[in-house]
DNA sequence: ATGTAAATCGTAATGATTCTTATAGATGGT
DNA sequence: ACCATCTATAAGAATCATTACGATTTACAT
């Protein structure tokens, strides 16, 4: 996923192009890590001092719905990062200090026999948590 | 995990026995599924009409710290269920409607090569989500 | 039985997120 | 380029889950 792909998806789905939306996607494209709504607000308010929290949340939710952003949650806050790829299903090793990620290519759902239960399976979550090298060195 | 084990852990760690704490653990022992703080409050206030939300949250957190309860989160609410066992590491298939669970015995961490990264791994989460048979039938 | 620290209550405070209403701005057609 | 329409945004209020606080009650060791 990159900025132009993201904006193309926006247009295709009938949403309007705004400079704030482009900057929002650009921020995620630069950072390539999980950011909280507050992180995003702090970054965005440098260029747009009066930017509303509502705009942040509304666009984060929209982008997650459009699969432009991936969403997760820790320490009571939702976090978002740019979708790594539209192609291959994968999981993450996540630094809980800075939100940096590494890919985990294997998916635990392959080989789990959940089809023979009365459950209708709708999703799954596999995440490994830790601290990256930089954050260990403070 | 059962009620007497839970109360033994409480005592061993120097916490006081109260009727509310016994009833709280008993509730989880009966339900054997994930409950939100609000679920617990509703159940408990039948017997203790004036019970404070603070008491609920304080004890849920305490019990989770003592590994009497397992904690997770979905739809913006923390959820707790009685720890299945003190012995074997496992994961869950969870009904997002009622909190009912099935065990998943295999752990995806076996076979994931995370030791050769600069990350210090501190934890992981693997959960499968769905709807149980009863909830599908409403 | 008594003293003390912990547990609880009632309520206020907090923090993240969502909602509301009025205004501003993007897009498509002229 | 201009206009109409409909979406996006700002500002602030509202909501929801959770935590904090001061006062009171209770468990339990002595």
The three-class DSSP label of residue B112 is coil
Closest-CA residue of A relative to B78 is: A76
Give the β-pairing of B101-104 and B120-131: unpaired
Tell me what percent of chain B is helix, strand and coil, each rounded to the nearest 5.
Answer: 35, 25, 40
Q: Does position B9 have pLDDT exceeding 90, yes or no?
A: yes
Domains, chain B, in order of start with CATH, read 3-82 (1.10.10.10), 91-136 (3.30.1490.190)
* A93: nearest CB among B102, B117, B127: B117
What is the spatial distance, in angstroms and rounded to an integer, between the CA atom of B13 and the C1' atom of D22? 27
* A61 Cβ neighbours under 8 A, 6+ residues apart: none
pTM of the full structure: 0.92
Give dist(CA A138, CA B109) in Å, integer: 27
Cβ-contact A96, A129 below 8 angstroms: yes
Q: List bases, strand C, within 7 Å of protein CB.
A: 6-12, 16-20, 25-27
Give the β-pairing of A120-131 and A91-95: parallel
H helix count then E strand count, chain A: 5, 6
In a mutational test of the B interface, the residue from A116, A117, A118, A132 whose CB has the highest number of chain B CBs within 10 Å is A118
* B81 Cβ neighbours under 8 A, 6+ residues apart: B28, B31, B32, B33, B34, B35, B69, B70, B99, B101
pLDDT at A106: 87
* B118: nearest CB among A106, A119, A133: A133
Among residues B31, B19, B125, which one has the least CA distance to residue B69? B31
| Residue lying closest to nucleotide C16, CA to C1' | A77
Residue B75 at interface with chain A, using a CB cutoff of 8 Å: no
In a mutational test of the A interface, the residue from B116, B119, B127, B136 whose CB has the highest number of chain A CBs within 10 Å is B119
Q: Say yes or no: Cβ of B15 under 7 A from any atom of strand C.
A: yes
Contacts of B125 in chain A (CB under 8 A): 125-127, 129
Q: Each residue of B28-51: pLDDT tens digit?
A: 999 999 999 999 999 999 999 999
> Which stretches does DSSP call E strand in chain B?
35-36, 69-74, 77-82, 91-95, 101-104, 120-131
Written as tens digits, the pLDDT of chain A (138 aa) is 899 999 999 999 999 999 999 999 999 999 999 999 999 999 999 999 999 999 999 999 999 999 999 999 999 999 999 998 756 788 999 999 999 999 998 899 987 776 668 899 999 999 999 999 999 998
Among residues B116, B120, B123, which one has the least CA distance to residue A131? B120
Q: Does position B14 have pLDDT exceeding 70, yes or no?
A: yes
Q: Each residue of B86-125: pLDDT tens digit?
A: 567 889 999 999 999 999 988 999 877 766 688 999 999 9
Compute the average pLDDT of residues B53-58: 98
């Amino acid at each position: 996923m990159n900025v132009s792909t993201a904006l193309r998806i926006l247009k295709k789905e009938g949403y309007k192009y705004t400079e704030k939306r482009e900057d929002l996607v650009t921020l995620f494209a630069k950072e390539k890590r999980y950011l909280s709504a507050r992180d995003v607000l702090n970054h965005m308010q440098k260029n747009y001092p009066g930017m509303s929290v509502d705009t942040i949340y509304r666009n984060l939710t929209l982008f997650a719905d459009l699969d432009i952003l991936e969403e997760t949650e820790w320490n009571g806050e939702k976090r978002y990062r740019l979708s790594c790829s539209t192609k291959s299903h994968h999981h993450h090793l996540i630094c809980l200090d800075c939100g940096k990620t590494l890919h985990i290519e294997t998916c635990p759902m392959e080989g789990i026999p959940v089809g023979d239960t009365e459950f209708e399976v709708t999703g799954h979550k596999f995440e490994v948590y830790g601290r990256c090298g930089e954050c260990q060195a403070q």
